Structure 1
């Protein structure tokens, strides 16, 4: 059986770590890597899309990152209890025409005993921004440890 520490039930420390690990994986923009954090039958709601399973997750993320270019994400723990974690997040990206967008959202996660996410529900809103209004300017990959989080950025 696959395991993906930290494992539930979560503490403040382990829930915070789980959120940062998810943020780092998503900032890799590697759909296959990200999909490994989910159960084989993981159920997702992302905006108005509903789907199940790692193959569907990989296909979704492949489409997402083909459209959302130079994607940079910050996640922040909102609440946790037992096998569940709630996060708020924000990410910036641009389309092929160069229009920058900041996407704000909330996610609800539920994990199995092995630390794999079996359910993810995401609500997301998009706001167009000017390039000079961008706040997430680190290079490709994980957010640097010294980069401010959402609260510090006033988001």
Structure 2
């Protein structure tokens, strides 16, 4: 059985932040196969208005997402945690095929199994078009910016 530390129950802020940072780091690779390994084989997602179930669907979903959302770069922030659940807020920036830049804002609810794999993810996301000059997320988060709060 695969274990993805830290594992629940999450009892300290440091543990919870480490889990959030690990998720941010993985998503910033834009590698659907790698990202999918952090989820249970039967993981269930609600992403915006779409339901995704299982690793194969996660890989297909992320492959399509990162074809559309080009130069995707993400930041996540711990909002709260208890036991095997977390609330996270996030922002990411990307551009579409026409070169328009977007910042996507959202919140996620996460539930983990005993091995630290995510078995449930619910995400609400809103997109705001931005000027390229207004970008503030450029690739993976540098070490010196970890644990910094996201701006509004």
Say whether the fold is shared (TM-score over 0.5): yes
Give the drift of 1:18.
0.1
> What root-mean-square deviation, in Å, do the aligned CA atoms of Structure 1 and Structure 2 show?
1.2
Structure 1 residue runs of 4+, over 4 Å off? none
Match of 1:44 in 2: 45
How do residues 118-137 of structure 1 correspond to structure 2 at under 5 angstroms? 118-137=119-138
- Count of residue pairs brought into register by the alignment: 151
* Aligned residue number for residue 104 of structure 2: 103
TM, length-normalised to structure 2: 0.96
The residue matched to 2:115 in structure 1 has which SS? coil
TM-score (norm 1): 0.94
Check 1:70–1:149 CA distance in 2 against 1; reply closer, same or farther (3 A cut).
farther
- Do residues 154 (structure 1) and 151 (structure 2) align? yes
Q: Structure 1: 5+ residue runs without aligned partners?
A: none
Retained in 1: the 8 A contact 2:17–2:147?
no
2:122 pairs with 1:144? no
For 1:13 and 1:148, locate their aligned partners in 2 and report how far apart those are by CA, in whole Å.
Answer: 12
